[in-house]
């Protein structure tokens, strides 16, 4: 997933990025908070089927209309945020942590361990990430756990390369040698010197990974390989609504818009963070 | 770099790809071993007796030591024998042979779209960095990356193909013209998420090239117009994206898998998705192999292209 | 003699339109036919920007806010369009041969890219012209070198390529932006000899921007000294180097090492530093650092005035009363004469 | 793919037999809107690929529809499914012992290569069917077949059999030219020759996204009547039903095979053709689980299910089940008292349980199916009414199968249909596969099964079936939920289309109203 990074690699603009950061963070926080209170906020139980209220179009009562079982689409979109957001965040965070640890390991232990880690990275990169994900879900069975494993296996590589590069560069620097000579442990050197250097780029990676993880999760669920009912997830909602796209468009259009909203919010946060970190 | 040097470079990269390919084969083979469930049961069906199951195991070579099974597997792969689909009606190799052209055409058309969209927007955005057009394009690009490809696909089907009638709603064509027409919307859906990545890379390449001393030097030497853009901007700006080529291709491939199922295109991606849904071991195994070999090949081509474009790259 | 290039009252601005900064203000000079003209000053004095302005290749964010740029055509000076001048009248040699040559083009293609685009030369014509040009700038085995990539050449050879590229458009003025700064001393000498030779052979005018006074002394006929975005003194090299009329020029010359300067004696330095574009004082910009400054200097409007008893022109208020003894700089470096490049 | 039944089950065995089926499907003809199509090509959408080009491999819905178009059958289903009618055979008779059949062939039947259909071809075909690797077992009573003359075929059976005429309408009973027209079978099936209304042209991208193109067979025996009416049949397979709906709505498909309620409800009523429901969807309860060992809980679950509500979500395509067995299959009779939805009774039964612990049950089903998912969600809501907490376990079919087999679920939703035209076939399925899983007492089931399959008396058969249904109700280990139809979407300008309950239809009779 080394790619979308380029999107973030723009010249630092005027301004601290605070506005973007705050806007994005507020959007995500609101969405996440709303997911816990979806029922109270919308006045509808997201899971309650009401066969007498099927396919109501968006109204003041049902902001996003109702679906084929008469469930409130707005409430479901909100509840789904509670599934999608944590999974997307974890889908980016887990590989980041694994990648940072493995990258540091590869950078410090340059012997066969380092080689092994980097060969493993080459190997992983030979698989297109989404295909890797599908194959792993195939092997492990559908579900959130499989998705996380699949995301982690595919995405740690970029972080590992990044951190290893920083480690290799830093370990030649005098002050790091001095720090090591002064008896600072590897962990502290890592925390004090390596991480701060790798962080801005890692943040950009992670942001693009969140968006990518979300779209992969949604795509998997859409194909019936991810989150399944009664779990509520945007991709799964889109799939459920797809037969009715022509006449009851809201059932699958609304969750799609939610995904886009998250993508934009994450980009805002990433852009803002990047500008702050680069200063 | 001399021609001979390039030849050796390609040769060496090819050689380097061999161990990787072998490990890939081993992994793909190992997939079958770790999958829960008995492949023999899968073949025999629910009503099979224990004796039938055992016979099928022997027939499939499942009673042999694992390493021998791997050797046999290598032999079969070398001869293009990837087994049959779960229903037994089609050979996996046939499936791959019929799906490959579809996926390749889809990839080719979306590559053209991606390059055209990314190139045009990058030039526009780079004209005035941080100008209005640049900011606008950056916002649109953020949306483009965030839009789920499959969702865009169904929206395009319902919102464009259905009302206009200009494109087939799902499915592939049988003549070059119908094939191209069938590829337009899926390729578009695919490009929307990939073009921003290429655009950003191209844009920064263009900006960098325009700010460079060699660009100024060329201008001072009287180079102008299209020659200036082509030889002193685009060619240099193409180097970073080309080094992204492998990454872009894997992104495109990933997207193709999604798009093919959304649009019902009979390509490799659709086969993969359906095999995952139907738990069709052989198909998954064969396709994983094909996809990863394709990526190895693309990496190879990418390296060679970078070397061709940027003579500084050490070979 | 008619000048071939004249710059008058050049003003360069940067920053926002309502609060602009002026890295160069009211700079001007003129260059005669066949003349080597030096533009000297410390980094930040605006000399390189001035040179860039002549070709219209200002860096992003810097714009020309005033001044007249004229080039000789049909015996008279006329304002020119950059696009015109770049292909014909003016050529430019950049400071960094590492970055100023497009790494993705072969030497031969690079050298003739300009005229090819302009005159529609065939590939064959372009190639043979490229070889000729490379031979002219003293590339060994030019035919083979034409097929090389920039990164395969040494810094000195790259600078020769740069010069060949500039010559390809048959300019009448060659602008050189510190062309030897990035090079080894031995190579510097070769390049200087080459430029001298080309100037003589082609009857070119050369504008030489440098902070290296020795180079100016060796190569140039006339010189302009820039300080904080302004030309503070201009005159012949002989005159300015021996009898500087502006305290800054004098200080600059005193800070220059000579072969006679004992190793262990520190060079005379001007106290303080050159003010940046944002904090330039009113009046004479050198006044705060000047040992001879008078209160009136702070109100001085910048003009280059005739100096009594000297062919130079100077911006100093005290040109009349500060005519100290001439510096003995003859022994410094002999001007380039014989020898080959 | 069904969970327990062979997919072949879906073919629901043709027709079979007079007396049983009643009129089905929508009336022939368009809606009268006057819509026309520019060309005379019929473009069909379906979600299931064919199983190959040989009749022997015919297995699923795709082949059931396509095989008869290419090959033709000796006998065909009456459009209303009430019995068989002449096909390539103009008539047939059999001896008193039903061991020797004589078929009299039409003289105007011809293969697509122009050669006439002769007795020799049909006799050859009988042998091919019997020797087939996949479907040969259906024909194992065939001893030999001979052609005394050009237009007569005599078939000798090893045992009496009155089922043969129905079998001959199946997609496995494909008439081939003698000796495969001199080709090797593999070669023949790459470009088959048949006596059906359409001739094979091409089969692109075999598999889930295949396209099969057929053109009018001028030598078809219906040619004199002007059949087939359309010039070309193009069948496009796509796994994505929703997308197929869009294509239909966009005028890119003229006909959709296998329409679900979700899709059909997106269409104007006259475009959806819905035959009688003939596939049962049942809930299986694992009585080996401690909680479900109590019959009161099982009966309570059955009573708490509002089958009307389950059916209402798929209005018009699904009817509430009265018993556990598929309806509209010969000899399928309902139980003495049909299921009733009675919450009070259900709660009473819950109170009668020996052990009053709270009940949490897992429910397995195939998650890829939207109708199944919907139904599982409704079931969960309904059972919550009596305090039974249901955990949904959607999964892919293979996982449902393997975990279902190992008894990982408390409950399982599964579909049941006949693979031969007698209700005793699904019963044998319940006996062999379902009873071990549910842990039901199958003594009575076995007894009644034997009783019903050794008699020729319909009344005896009916009584046995009723006893089986009643027994299932008493034990409540298999609970009927709904009976489902497989429907068709038909464009306004398509005329002459008649849906049968068995997925098949007579493509030769279909007309397209063109502009001219």
Question: Which residue shows structure tokens 């009973």?
Answer: D173
Q: Would you call C327 exposed, middle or buried from its count of C-beta atoms within 10 A (0-12, 13-18, 19+)?
A: middle
* Chain centroid to CA B182: 18
In this structure, CATH architecture of domain A7-277: Orthogonal Bundle (1.10)
Total residues found in chain D within this entry:
516
From chain A residues 119-138, the ones with a CB under 8 A of any chain B CB are 122-123, 125-131, 134-135, 137-138
Instruction: Report yes or no: D276 and D22 within 8 Å, Cβ to Cβ.
Output: yes
Residues of D in contact with A141 (CB under 8 A): 395, 399
- A188 touches B: beta carbon within 8 Å: no
Residues of C in contact with B225 (CB under 8 A): 117
* Residue D3 pLDDT: 30
Would the pLDDT of B53 be above 70?
A: no
Would the pLDDT of D17 be above 50?
A: no
**Rounded to whole angstroms, how far apart are CA atoms C290 and C275?**
13
Q: Would you call A20 exposed, middle or buried from its count of C-beta atoms within 10 A (0-12, 13-18, 19+)?
A: buried
**Rounded to whole angstroms, how far apart are CA atoms A239 and D374?**
13
Interface B:A, ≥3 CB–CB pairs < 8 Å:
yes
Q: Each residue of C40-69: pLDDT tens digit?
A: 988 888 888 898 899 888 887 888 888 889
User: CA torsion angle for D129, D130, D136, D139 (degrees, to 10)?
Assistant: 100
* Residue B1 pLDDT: 44
Q: Which of B71-85, D114-128, D130-144, D276-290: highest mean pLDDT? A: D114-128
Residues of C in contact with B243 (CB under 8 A): none
Q: Each residue of D172-226: pLDDT tens digit?
A: 899 999 999 999 998 899 899 999 999 999 988 777 778 899 999 999 999 988 9
Q: Does B8 lie in the same domain as B38?
A: yes
Would the pLDDT of D13 be above 60?
A: no
Residues of B in contact with A122 (CB under 8 A): 20
Q: Average pLDDT for residues D227-253, to the nearest whole number?
A: 88
Instruction: Report yes or no: B309 and C104 within 8 Å, Cβ to Cβ.
Output: yes
Of residues D56, D49, D90, D92, the one with CA closest to residue D71: D56
- Tally of domains in chain B: 2
Total residues found in chain A within this entry:
279
B–C CB contacts, 8 A cutoff, strictly below: 96
Q: Reduce the DSSP state of residue D107 to 3 states and report it.
A: coil
Instruction: Report yes or no: B294 and B201 within 8 Å, Cβ to Cβ.
Output: no
Between B183 and B312, name the one with better pLDDT. B183
Among residues of chain C, what percentage have pLDDT more than 90? 13
Question: Which residue shows structure tokens 């040559």?
Answer: C101
Among residues of chain B, what percentage have pLDDT more than 90? 11
Q: All domains of chain C, ordered by start, with CATH?
A: 1-89+169-341 (3.40.50.300)
Nearest CB partner across the interface for B170, out of D57, D238, D432: D238
* Residue D177 pLDDT: 95
Q: Each residue of C213-262: pLDDT tens digit?
A: 888 888 899 999 998 888 988 999 888 888 888 888 888 888 776 656 55
User: CA torsion angle for C203, C208, C214, C218 (degrees, to 10)?
Assistant: 0
Q: Each residue of D248-278: pLDDT tens digit?
A: 988 889 999 988 777 787 888 889 888 888 8
Residues of B in contact with C94 (CB under 8 A): 213, 216-217, 220
Would the pLDDT of A183 be above 70?
A: no
* Residue B7 pLDDT: 66
pTM: 0.77
**Which H or E run contains D233?**
strand D232-237
Cross-chain Cβ contact D209/B95 below 8 Å: no
Would the pLDDT of A47 be above 60?
A: yes
Burial D205-222 (b: 16+ CB within 10 A, else e): bbbbbbbbbbbbbebbbb
Nearest CB partner across the interface for C165, out of B213, B217, B236: B217
Of residues B122, B11, B240, B116, the one with CA closest to residue C104: B240
| B86 is a domain residue | no
From chain B residues 160-199, the ones with a CB under 8 A of any chain A CB are 162, 193, 196-197
Between D239 and A216, name the one with better pLDDT. A216
Strand D359-366 relative to strand D411-416: parallel, antiparallel, unpaired?
parallel
Would the pLDDT of D347 be above 90?
A: yes
- B8 touches C: beta carbon within 8 Å: no
Burial C74-113 (b: 16+ CB within 10 A, else e): eeebeebebeebbbbbbbbbbbbbbbbbbbbbbbbbbbbb
Per-residue tokens: C53:
């302005």
ipTM value for the complex: 0.73
Residues of A in contact with B31 (CB under 8 A): 135, 139
Confidence of residue C337 (pLDDT cuts 50, 70, 90): very low
Q: What is the DSSP letter of A242?
A: G
Of residues D414, D408, D292, D412, the one with CA closest to residue D364: D412
Would the pLDDT of D154 be above 90?
A: yes
Among residues of chain A, what percentage have pLDDT more than 90? 16
Q: Average pLDDT for residues B266-281, to the nearest whole number?
A: 82
Q: Does B151 lie in the same domain as B124?
A: yes
Chain mean pLDDT for chain B: 81
Residues of D in contact with B103 (CB under 8 A): none
Cross-chain Cβ contact B145/A263 below 8 Å: yes
Q: Helices A18-36 and A73-108 meet at what angle, rounded to 10?
A: 120
Q: Average pLDDT for residues D295-302, to the nearest whole number?
A: 94
- A138 touches D: beta carbon within 8 Å: no
| B315 is a domain residue | no
Which of B30, B53, B78 is the C-terminal boundary of a domain? Answer: B78
Of residues C311, D312, C146, B63, the one with CA closest to residue A53: D312
Would the pLDDT of B279 be above 80?
A: no
Which of B78, B112, B127 is the C-terminal boundary of a domain? Answer: B78
Between D385 and A231, name the one with better pLDDT. D385
* Residue C335 pLDDT: 46
Per-residue tokens: A34:
């709303």
* Residue B32 pLDDT: 67
Chain mean pLDDT for chain A: 80
- B175 touches D: beta carbon within 8 Å: no
A–D CB contacts, 8 A cutoff, strictly below: 56
Between D479 and A37, name the one with better pLDDT. D479
* Residue D404 pLDDT: 54
Q: Average pLDDT for residues D447-458, to the nearest whole number?
A: 78
Taking the CA atoms of C17, C18, C19 and C20 in sequence, report the sign of the dihedral they define: positive
Residues of A in contact with B148 (CB under 8 A): 215, 218-219, 222, 235, 238, 256, 259-260
Listed as own residue / partner, the contacts of C286-295 with beta carbons closer than 8 Å and 24 or more positions apart are C286/C227, C286/C228, C286/C232, C286/C246, C286/C247, C286/C248, C290/C247, C290/C248, C291/C247, C292/C247, C292/C318, C292/C322, C294/C318
Between B245 and C132, name the one with better pLDDT. C132
* Residue A11 pLDDT: 41
Q: Reduce the DSSP state of residue D153 to 3 states and report it.
A: strand
* Residue C267 pLDDT: 57
Nearest CB partner across the interface for B257, out of A131, A141, A260: A131
Q: Does B123 lie in the same domain as B212?
A: yes
Instruction: Report yes or no: A212 and A220 within 8 Å, Cβ to Cβ.
Output: no
Which residues are paired to D200 by β-bridges? Answer: D214
Q: Reduce the DSSP state of residue D76 to 3 states and report it.
A: strand
**Which H or E run contains A129?**
helix A129-140
Q: What is the largest CA-CA distance in chain C?
A: 67
Residues of C in contact with B127 (CB under 8 A): none
Of residues B275, C87, B279, A230, the one with CA closest to residue D391: A230
Q: How far apart are the first and last CA of chain C?
A: 28
Rounded to 5°, the CA angle D442-D446-D451 comes to: 150
Residue D503 backbone zone (phi > 0: left; psi -120 to 50: alpha; other: beta)? left
Cross-chain Cβ contact A222/B150 below 8 Å: yes
Instruction: Report yes or no: D202 and D212 within 8 Å, Cβ to Cβ.
Output: yes
Residues of A in contact with B257 (CB under 8 A): 128, 130-131, 134
* Chain centroid to CA C221: 12
* Residue C62 pLDDT: 86
Minimal Cα–Cα distance from B243 to chain C, Å?
A: 15
Q: What is the DSSP letter of D134?
A: T
Nearest CB partner across the interface for B221, out of C60, C103, C166: C166
Instruction: Report yes or no: D327 and D22 within 8 Å, Cβ to Cβ.
Output: no
Minimal Cα–Cα distance from B233 to chain C, Å?
A: 10
SS3 for C61-97 is CEEEEEEEEEEEECCEEEECCHHHHHHCCEEEECCCC
| B159 is a domain residue | yes
Of residues C124, C113, C206, the one with CA closest to residue C165: C113
Q: Average pLDDT for residues D100-116, to the nearest whole number?
A: 93
Which chains share 3+ C-beta pairs under 8 angstroms with D? A, B
Q: What is the DSSP letter of D205?
A: S
Cross-chain Cβ contact D249/B42 below 8 Å: no
Instruction: Report yes or no: D47 and D237 within 8 Å, Cβ to Cβ.
Output: yes
- Tell me the residue range of the domain where B147 lies: 92-309
Q: Which residues contact C155 (CB under 8 A, 6 or more apart)?
A: C97, C98, C182, C183, C184, C187
Mutate to test the interface with D, among B154, B164, B257, B266 (most CBs of D within 10 A): B266
Between B51 and B149, name the one with better pLDDT. B149
Rounded to 5°, the CA angle A63-A69-A70 comes to: 35
Interface C:B, ≥3 CB–CB pairs < 8 Å:
yes
| B87 is a domain residue | no
- A142 touches D: beta carbon within 8 Å: yes
**Rounded to whole angstroms, how far apart are CA atoms A265 and D47?**
39
Between B98 and D174, name the one with better pLDDT. D174
Between B181 and C96, name the one with better pLDDT. B181
* Residue C131 pLDDT: 93
- A18 touches D: beta carbon within 8 Å: no
Q: Does B131 lie in the same domain as B45?
A: no
Pick from A71-75, B72-76, B243-247, C297-301: least confident:
B243-247
Residues of D in contact with A143 (CB under 8 A): none
Taking the CA atoms of C139, C140, C145 and C150 in sequence, report the sign of the dihedral they define: negative
* Residue B165 pLDDT: 83
Q: Average pLDDT for residues C138-160, to the nearest whole number?
A: 89
Q: What is the DSSP letter of C267?
A: P
Cross-chain Cβ contact B87/D51 below 8 Å: yes
Q: All domains of chain D, ordered by start, with CATH?
A: 16-273+487-512 (3.40.190.10), 279-484 (3.10.105.10)
- B281 touches D: beta carbon within 8 Å: no
Cross-chain Cβ contact D394/A228 below 8 Å: yes
Pick from A80-89, B23-32, D398-407: least confident:
D398-407
* Residue A104 pLDDT: 82
Q: Each residue of C270-308: pLDDT tens digit?
A: 777 788 777 888 888 888 888 888 888 888 888 887 877
**Rounded to whole angstroms, how far apart are CA atoms B209 and B272?**
42
Q: Each residue of D492-513: pLDDT tens digit?
A: 999 999 887 667 788 999 999 9
Half-sphere exposure at residue A257, Cβ-oriented, CA atoms within 13 angstroms: 11
User: CA torsion angle for B67, B71, B77, B78 (degrees, to 10)?
Assistant: 160
Pick from A186-190, B56-60, B114-118, C257-261: least confident:
C257-261
């Amino acid at each position: 997933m080394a790619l979308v990074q380029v999107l973030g690699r723009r010249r630092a603009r005027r301004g601290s990025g605070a506005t973007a950061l705050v806007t994005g963070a507020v959007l995500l926080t609101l969405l996440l908070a709303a997911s816990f209170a979806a029922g109270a906020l919308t006045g509808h139980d997201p899971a309650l089927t009401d066969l007498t209220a099927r396919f109501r179009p968006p109204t003041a009562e049902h902001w996003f209309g109702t679906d084929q079982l008469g469930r409130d689409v707005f409430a479901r979109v909100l509840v789904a945020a509670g599934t999608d957001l944590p999974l997307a965040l974890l889908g980016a965070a887990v590989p980041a942590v694994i990648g940072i640890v493995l990258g540091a390991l590869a950078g410090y232990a340059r012997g066969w361990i380092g080689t092994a880690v980097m060969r493993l990275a080459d190997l992983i990169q030979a698989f297109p990430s989404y295909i890797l994900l599908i194959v792993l879900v195939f092997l492990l069975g559908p579900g959130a756990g499989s998705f996380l494993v699949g995301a982690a296996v595919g995405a740690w590589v970029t972080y590992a390369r990044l951190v290893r590069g920083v480690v290799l560069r830093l370990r030649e620097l005098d002050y790091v040698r001095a720090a090591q000579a002064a008896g600072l442990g590897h962990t502290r050197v890592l925390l004090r010197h390596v991480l701060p250097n790798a962080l801005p780029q890692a943040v950009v990676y992670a942001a693009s990974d969140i968006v990518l993880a979300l779209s992969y999760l949604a795509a998997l669920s859409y194909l019936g390989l991810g989150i399944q009912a009664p779990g509520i997830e945007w991709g799964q909602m889109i799939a459920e609504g797809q037969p009715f796209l022509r006449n009851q468009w809201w059932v699958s259009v609304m969750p799609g818009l939610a995904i886009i909203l998250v993508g934009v919010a994450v980009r805002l946060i990433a852009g803002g963070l990047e500008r702050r970190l680069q200063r | 770099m001399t021609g001979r040097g390039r030849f050796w470079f390609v040769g060496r990269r090819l050689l380097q790809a061999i161990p990787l390919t072998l490990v890939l084969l081993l992994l793909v083979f190992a997939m079958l071993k770790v999958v829960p469930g008995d492949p023999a049961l899968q073949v025999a069906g629910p009503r099979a007796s224990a004796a039938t199951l055992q016979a099928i195991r022997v027939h499939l070579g499942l009673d042999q030591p694992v390493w021998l099974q791997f050797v046999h597997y290598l032999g079969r792969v070398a001869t293009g024998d990837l087994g049959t689909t779960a229903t037994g009606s089609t050979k996996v190799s046939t499936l791959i042979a019929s799906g490959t052209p579809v996926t390749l055409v889809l990839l080719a058309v979306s590559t053209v779209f991606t390059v055209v969209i990314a190139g045009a927007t990058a030039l526009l955005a780079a004209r005035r960095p941080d100008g209005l057009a640049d900011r606008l394009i950056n916002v649109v690009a953020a949306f483009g990356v965030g839009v789920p490809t499959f969702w865009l696909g169904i929206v395009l089907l319902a919102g464009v193909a259905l009302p206009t009638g200009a494109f087939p709603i799902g499915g592939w064509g049988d003549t070059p013209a119908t094939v191209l027409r069938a590829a337009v919307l899926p390729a578009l859906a695919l490009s929307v998420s990939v073009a921003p990545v290429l655009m950003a890379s191209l844009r920064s390449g263009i900006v960098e090239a325009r700010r460079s001393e060699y660009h100024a030097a060329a201008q001072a030497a009287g180079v102008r117009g299209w020659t200036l853009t082509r030889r002193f901007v685009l060619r240099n700006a193409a180097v970073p994206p080309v080094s992204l080529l492998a990454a872009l291709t894997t992104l495109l491939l990933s997207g193709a898998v999604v798009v093919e199922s959304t649009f019902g295109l009979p390509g490799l991606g659709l086969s993969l998705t359906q095999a995952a849904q139907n738990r069709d071991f052989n198909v998954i195994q064969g396709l994983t192999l094909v996809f990863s070999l394709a990526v190895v090949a693309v990496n190879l081509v990418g390296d060679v292209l970078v070397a061709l474009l940027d003579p500084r790259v050490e070979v | 003699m008619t000048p071939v290039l004249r710059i008058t009252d050049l003003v360069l601005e940067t920053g926002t339109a309502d609060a602009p900064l002026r890295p160069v203000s009211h700079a001007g000079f003129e260059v005669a036919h066949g003349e080597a003209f030096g533009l000297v000053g410390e980094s930040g004095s605006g000399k390189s920007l001035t040179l860039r302005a002549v070709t219209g290749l200002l860096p992003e964010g810097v714009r020309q806010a005033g001044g007249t740029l004229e080039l000789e055509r049909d015996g008279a000076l006329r304002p020119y369009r950059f696009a015109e001048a770049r292909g014909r009248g003016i050529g430019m040699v950049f400071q960094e041969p590492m970055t100023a040559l497009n790494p993705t083009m072969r030497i031969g293609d690079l050298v003739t890219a300009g005229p090819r685009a302009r005159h529609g030369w065939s590939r064959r014509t372009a190639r043979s012209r490229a070889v000729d040009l490379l031979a002219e700038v003293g590339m060994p085995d030019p035919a083979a070198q034409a097929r090389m990539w920039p990164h395969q050449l040494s810094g000195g050879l790259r600078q020769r390529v740069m010069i060949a590229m500039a010559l390809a458009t048959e300019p009448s003025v060659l602008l050189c932006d510190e062309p030897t700064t990035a090079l080894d001393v031995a190579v510097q000498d070769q390049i200087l000899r080459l430029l001298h030779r080309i100037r003589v052979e082609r009857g070119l005018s050369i504008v030489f921007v440098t902070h290296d006074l020795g180079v100016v002394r060796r190569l140039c006929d006339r010189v302009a000294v820039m300080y904080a975005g302004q030309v503070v003194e201009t005159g012949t090299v002989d005159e300015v180097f021996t009898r500087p009329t502006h305290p800054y020029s004098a200080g600059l010359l005193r800070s220059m090492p000579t072969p006679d300067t004992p190793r262990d004696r520190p060079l005379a330095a001007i106290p303080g530093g050159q003010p940046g574009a944002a904090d330039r004082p009113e009046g004479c910009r050198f006044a705060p650092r000047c040992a001879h400054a008078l209160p009136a200097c702070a109100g001085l409007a910048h003009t280059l005035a005739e100096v009594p008893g000297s062919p130079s022109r100077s911006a100093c208020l005290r040109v009349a009363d500060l005519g100290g003894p001439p510096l003995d700089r003859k022994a410094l470096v002999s001007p380039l004469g014989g020898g080959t490049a | 793919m069904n969970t327990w039944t062979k997919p072949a089950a879906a073919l629901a065995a043709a027709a079979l037999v007079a007396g049983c089926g009643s009129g089905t499907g929508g009336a022939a003809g368009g809606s009268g809107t006057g819509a026309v199509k520019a060309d005379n090509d019929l473009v069909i959408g379906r979600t299931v690929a064919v199983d190959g080009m040989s009749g022997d491999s015919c297995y699923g819905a795709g082949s059931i529809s396509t095989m008869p178009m290419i090959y033709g059958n000796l006998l065909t289903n009456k459009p209303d499914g009430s019995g068989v009618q002449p096909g390539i055979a103009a008539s047939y008779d059999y001896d008193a012992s039903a061991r020797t059949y004589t078929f009299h062939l039409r003289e105007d039947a011809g293969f697509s290569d122009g050669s006439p259909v002769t007795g020799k071809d049909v006799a050859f075909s009988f042998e091919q069917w019997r020797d087939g690797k996949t479907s040969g077992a259906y024909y194992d009573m065939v001893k030999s077949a001979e052609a005394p003359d050009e237009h007569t075929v005599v078939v000798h059976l090893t045992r009496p059999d009155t089922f043969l005429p129905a079998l001959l309408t199946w997609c496995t009973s494909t008439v081939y030219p003698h000796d495969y027209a001199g080709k090797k079978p593999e070669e023949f099936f790459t470009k088959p020759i048949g006596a059906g209304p359409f001739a094979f042209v091409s089969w692109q991208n075999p598999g889930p996204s295949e396209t099969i193109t057929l053109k009018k067979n001028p030598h078809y025996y219906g040619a004199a009547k002007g059949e087939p009416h359309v010039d070309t049949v193009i069948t496009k397979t796509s796994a994505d039903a929703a997308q197929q709906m869009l294509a239909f709505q966009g005028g890119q498909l003229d006909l959709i095979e296998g329409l679900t309620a979700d899709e059909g409800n997106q269409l104007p009523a006259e475009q959806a053709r819905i035959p009688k429901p003939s596939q049962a969807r049942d809930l299986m309860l694992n009585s080996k689980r401690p909680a479900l060992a109590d019959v009161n809980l099982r009966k309570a679950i059955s009573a708490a299910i509002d089958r009307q509500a389950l059916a209402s979500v798929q209005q018009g395509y699904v009817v509430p089940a009265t018993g556990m067995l598929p309806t509209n299959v010969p000899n399928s009779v309902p139980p003495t008292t049909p299921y009733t939805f009675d919450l009070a009774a259900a709660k009473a039964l819950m109170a009668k349980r020996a052990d009053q612990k709270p009940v949490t049950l897992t429910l397995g089903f195939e998650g890829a199916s939207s109708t199944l998912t919907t139904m599982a969600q409704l079931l969960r809501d309904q059972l919550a009414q009596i305090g039974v907490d249901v955990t949904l376990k959607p999964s892919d079919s293979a996982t449902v199968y393997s975990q279902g087999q190992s008894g990982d679920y408390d409950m399982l939703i599964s579909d049941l249909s006949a693979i031969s035209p007698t209700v005793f076939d699904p019963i044998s399925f319940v006996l062999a596969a379902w009873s071990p899983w549910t842990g039901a007492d199958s003594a009575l089931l076995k007894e009644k099964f034997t009783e019903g399959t050794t008699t020729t008396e319909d009344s005896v058969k009916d009584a046995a079936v009723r006893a089986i249904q009643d027994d299932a109700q008493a034990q409540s280990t298999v609970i009927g939920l709904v009976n489902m139809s497989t429907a068709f979407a038909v464009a306004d300008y398509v005329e002459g289309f008649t849906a049968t309950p068995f997925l098949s239809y007579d493509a030769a009779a279909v007309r397209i109203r063109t502009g001219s």
